[in-house]
Amino acid sequence: MAERLIVVGGDAAGMAAASQARRRRNRDDLEIIAFERGHFTSYSACGIPYWISGLVADREQLVARDPATFRESYDIDVRIRHEVVAIDLNRREVIAMDLDGGTEVREPFDTLMYATGAVPTKPAWAHTGGAGVFGVQTLDDGSALREWLDADPPPRQAVVVGGGYIGVEMAEALVLRGLSVTLVERDEQPMSTVDPDMAQLVTDAMRGLGVTIRTGVQVTALSERDGRVCEVVTDDGPIPADVVILGLGVRPNTALAEAAGLPLGPTGGIRVDRRMRVTGVPGVWAAGDCVETLHRVSGMPVHVPLGTHANKQGRVAGINIGGGYATFAGVIGTAVTKVCDLEVGRTGLRERDALAAGFEFVSVIAESTNRAGYYPGARPMTVKLIAERPSGRLLGAQIVGWSEAAKRIDTLAVALWNRMTVDDMTALDLGYAPPYAPVWDPVLVAARKAVDALAPR
């Protein structure tokens, strides 16, 4: 008789695992059931801001593979709108609720793949204020927001609470739709995913785009009129709003896991080993935004909810479930984003992370251009490097610039992954032609500056 794999959560990590397991074990050997509480499988949550702005026309474009494809091409029994409400590790069964029919089903499993993703941070005040308050986490969230924005008359004053990637991307999306947008950030500056000196460039760009930025401001409540949000109340006065976006980050979605007794780590994510097996729980695997993972530079566990890790981790889990061997190598915190035409990339540790990890370091900021200075379209590009003292080992890097800046962080990410020193980096053979770089690539300029900063005076 076939073994049975049950997948809890049908997005990137869960379906990557299911697909890889199926690739190695056919139906007679492994039956696969995947429960997904939403309407969609394997969609790009990262694409939601671009669908909201209208850059991406149809919601369906964000769906990589729909349930029908998984059923037909992968022989995976995908059950959407089914929420797993309990996992019984002793009886080795899950209890799932059919959200449309209202009925409950019990399904036994031999192997469990836990991939419930993350849940948005939602403080108490976010539950006040009536309709018009949205997270931007699932396609269903996005659909609800699109509907609200498409109303007649449409909302005109948006407040985005939180200045991380989603907050910044949503602020831009709403400006593109013609709304007046205020971004409220509790800290000194939005975009704290980079150091303050680099984040300042992003703040300037967003202001240039017309976004009102209120920093050091704490939201305390939302006010409603006729059941609709009308005002964001803060410790610095009220801000009128007819639509509110919550961009306060996410935490691992572990309610079910905790109830079932799966171990959580210090970040609140599920603890897994290098093969994505839940630590100490035979036959149970986990991957994606619900787990914590190893940061290769700090050596500490981190929670980095990002589709690219979810896909890689799901693939690793699936290969192992399928009888193969794979390990997840950890992350180094590479991320890129776009604010209007301004591009931002980061990898490794920020200064505050390096301090927290106990490193001594120097940091340098080098100004250069994305192309040869004389080539049309040459624009400023700022590269920041953080290097351990005295070893010179690269610990982190950040880039802010215009056209073709952000993805250059990959060059630095691969250098960092390989534990290169900034001295070694000055010798790198990088591509040079006037449309792409000055004869000294911005990465090399920054590495040289870091070498100078490290030299004993």
Q: Which of 336, 342, 366, 394 binds a copy of itself (CB under 8 A)?
A: 336
Helices (H) and strands (E) in the chain, counts: 12, 25
Of 117, 165, 161, give the one whose Cα is nearest residue 139: 117
Q: Which stretch binds a copy of itself (CB under 8 A): 116-124, 127-135, 210-218, 403-411?
A: 403-411
Q: Distance between CA atoms of 270 and 276, rounded to whole angstroms? A: 10
Residues forming beta bridges with residue 184, ordered by sequence position: 161, 214
Query: Please, which residues have CB within 8 angstroms of residue 439's CB and are 6 or more apart in sequence?
Result: 372, 432
Q: Which of 145, 199, 213, 335 binds a copy of itself (CB under 8 A)?
A: 335
Q: Kind of pairing, strands 30-36 and 77-80?
A: parallel
State which amino acid sits at residue 257.
A
Q: Which stretch binds a copy of itself (CB under 8 A): 193-201, 264-272, 359-367, 402-410?
A: 402-410
Residue closer to a copy of itself by CB (options 241, 339) is 339
Considering only residues 160 through 199, tell me which ones interact with a copy of itself, judged by CB under 8 A.
Answer: 165
Residue 384 has phi, psi (to 5 degrees) of: -110, 135
Residues belonging to the active site: 46
Q: At closest approach, how far in Å is the CB of 219 from a copy of itself?
A: 26
Q: Is residue 443 at the binding interface for a copy of itself, with CB under 8 A as the rule? A: yes
Q: At closest approach, how far in Å is the CB of 14 from a copy of itself?
A: 14
Residue 3 has phi, psi (to 5 degrees) of: -70, 165
Q: Is residue 337 at the binding interface for a copy of itself, with CB under 8 A as the rule? A: yes
Q: Which of 105, 119, 430, 453 binds a copy of itself (CB under 8 A)?
A: 430
Tokens of 291: 């787990």
Q: Which of 187, 197, 236, 404 binds a copy of itself (CB under 8 A)?
A: 404
Q: Distance between CA atoms of 153 and 348, rounded to whole angstroms? A: 46
| Count of other CB atoms within 10 angstroms of residue 67 | 22
Residue closer to a copy of itself by CB (options 186, 408) is 408
Of 405, 381, 417, 398, give the one whose Cα is nearest residue 346: 398
Q: Is residue 402 at the binding interface for a copy of itself, with CB under 8 A as the rule? A: no
Of 43, 44, 53, give the one whose Cα is nearest residue 340: 53
Q: At closest approach, how far in Å is the CB of 420 from a copy of itself?
A: 7
Tokens of 428: 């790198």
Query: Please, which residues have CB within 8 angstroms of residue 449's CB and are 6 or more apart in sequence?
Result: 364, 366, 385
Of 153, 108, 149, 142, give the one whose Cα is nearest residue 6: 108
Q: Is residue 345 at the binding interface for a copy of itself, with CB under 8 A as the rule? A: yes
Q: Which of 413, 446, 450, 454 binds a copy of itself (CB under 8 A)?
A: 413
Q: At closest approach, how far in Å is the CB of 306 from a copy of itself?
A: 7
Q: Which of 308, 352, 360, 367 binds a copy of itself (CB under 8 A)?
A: 308
Q: Which of 174, 409, 446, 450 binds a copy of itself (CB under 8 A)?
A: 409
Considering only residues 233 through 292, tell me which ones interact with a copy of itself, judged by CB under 8 A.
Answer: none
Q: Distance between CA atoms of 134 and 146, rounded to whole angstroms? A: 10
Q: Is residue 457 at the binding interface for a copy of itself, with CB under 8 A as the rule? A: no
Cα 9 to chain centroid, rounded: 17
Residue closer to a copy of itself by CB (options 222, 409) is 409
Q: Is residue 306 at the binding interface for a copy of itself, with CB under 8 A as the rule? A: yes
Q: Which of 28, 147, 227, 418 binds a copy of itself (CB under 8 A)?
A: 418
Residues forming beta bridges with residue 352, ordered by sequence position: none
Tokens of 316: 């690793």
Residue closer to a copy of itself by CB (options 157, 320) is 320
Q: Distance between CA atoms of 78 and 10, rounded to whole angstroms? A: 8
Binding-residue total with a copy of itself (CB under 8 A): 64
State the sign of the Cα–Cα–Cα–Cα dihedral 270, 275, 281, 285: positive
List for the chain the helix, strand, coil content (%; round to 5).
30, 30, 40
Residue closer to a copy of itself by CB (options 55, 356) is 55
Q: At closest approach, how far in Å is the CB of 369 from a copy of itself?
A: 13
Q: Distance between CA atoms of 322 and 294, rounded to whole angstroms? A: 24
Q: Distance between CA atoms of 9 and 243, rounded to whole angstroms? A: 29
Q: Is residue 23 at the binding interface for a copy of itself, with CB under 8 A as the rule? A: no
Q: Is residue 44 at the binding interface for a copy of itself, with CB under 8 A as the rule? A: yes
Q: Which of 307, 314, 318, 401 binds a copy of itself (CB under 8 A)?
A: 307
Q: Which of 420, 422, 445, 446 binds a copy of itself (CB under 8 A)?
A: 420
Q: At closest approach, how far in Å is the CB of 60 from a copy of itself?
A: 9
Q: Is residue 133 at the binding interface for a copy of itself, with CB under 8 A as the rule? A: no
| Count of other CB atoms within 10 angstroms of residue 210 | 12
Q: At closest approach, how far in Å is the CB of 118 from a copy of itself?
A: 16
**Which positions lie near a copy of itself, rule CB under 8 A?**
12, 44, 46-47, 50, 55-56, 61-62, 64, 165, 306-309, 311-312, 328-329, 331-338, 345, 347, 372-376, 404, 406-411, 413-415, 417-418, 420, 424, 426-437, 439-441, 443
